[in-house]
Amino acid sequence: MAVFVALFLAVAGVAGTLTATADSPEIAFENPEVDVAQGDTVQIDGEAYTVGVSETEEGGGGHGGAATTVISGTLEREFTAETSETRTNGSTVSVDDREWRVEIAGEDPAEFTLVEVLDRQAILEADDSADNQTVTSDDGKEFVLVTDESGETTSVPADEYFPEPEERSHAAGETFEYGGNTVTVGNVTADGAVLVWETTQTETIEVEHHSTVTVGDTEYVAHFPDASTLQMTTDIEAYESQVTEIDRFNQYSSGLSRVLILSVLSSIMLAGMAFIPSRY
């Protein structure tokens, strides 16, 4: 019995020593194409990206679980894109804080016209001598009732009372300010006019730890050595080989841990059995 106990303890000792002294392999990129820190700018496939790296806590809380630190990052770039918008014939647009109506004449037009839409109600309310609304005669004509200083009221035709609306014509290829942008008039048809301008847009690529990410036409695998550094490599095969090595190491470590536990328990069981009194 003592020999078996000693044997199991020896096996447990060897398993424990191997488990304690073994160095766990870690992911490490050799000569990565991208090796940058938080806030750096890096050129990838001819585009400039700004690197962002953040660290967050996940899990834990009030359920007794331990919180896990997760590191992730972003690649962000600004680029110029062409934007277009078609203004249909008869539609209303806002230019210089005023409303304008789009008017296009003819079947094969080369230009379109912006006709100011007068705020008749505001004009009437600003004139103390005029009623705040127009009147329409029996024959359909519209008038504005204006009272002079003597108290005499006169009916003024609406076309004479209100000012002529401003008109602005724009031909194909012409540029003008519209919506805070300098736009160019593109194709003009009887149905509408196309306005073209350039805008600055932002592209953000999310990067997760030990995940693949496509930037431009190239696929990378990402790795965060610490909470402020991002590495990316196109050698995905080498990364997968390291992952396989780590999995194999974990399997061996788990097996040795089971051997250690079983050996210790077996030693205790055998030692206990030695003290059981014999019936004979």
118-176: per-residue pLDDT in tens? 988 899 888 888 888 888 888 888 988 988 888 888 888 988 889 999 999 999 999 99
Separation between Cα atoms, residue 208 and residue 223, nearest integer Å: 8
Quote the CA–CA distance of 256 and 254 in Å, as a whole number.
6
Residue 279 lies in a domain: yes
Q: What is the pLDDT of residue 18?
A: 47
At residue 262, the pLDDT reads 60
> By residue range, what is the domain housing residue 247?
1-30+235-280
| Mean predicted lDDT score pLDDT of the chain | 81
How far is the C-alpha of 144 from the C-alpha of 146, rounded, in Å? Answer: 6
- Mean pLDDT over 211-224 rounds to 91
Tell me the average pLDDT across 172-190.
Answer: 91
Does 118 reside within a domain?
A: no
* Mean of pLDDT values over 236-257: 70
Position 23 scores a pLDDT of 53
Distance, CA of 189 to CA of 262 (rounded, Å): 86
In a domain, 134, yes or no: no
> Does residue 198 lie within any of the structural domains?
no
Give domain status of residue 246, yes or no.
Answer: yes
- Residue 267 inside a domain? The answer is yes
250 belongs to a structural domain = yes
Is-contact 228 38, C-beta < 8 A? Answer: yes
Q: In total, how many domains does the chain have?
A: 1
The answer to whether residue 50 is domain-embedded is: no
Task: Provide the whole-model pTM.
Answer: 0.59
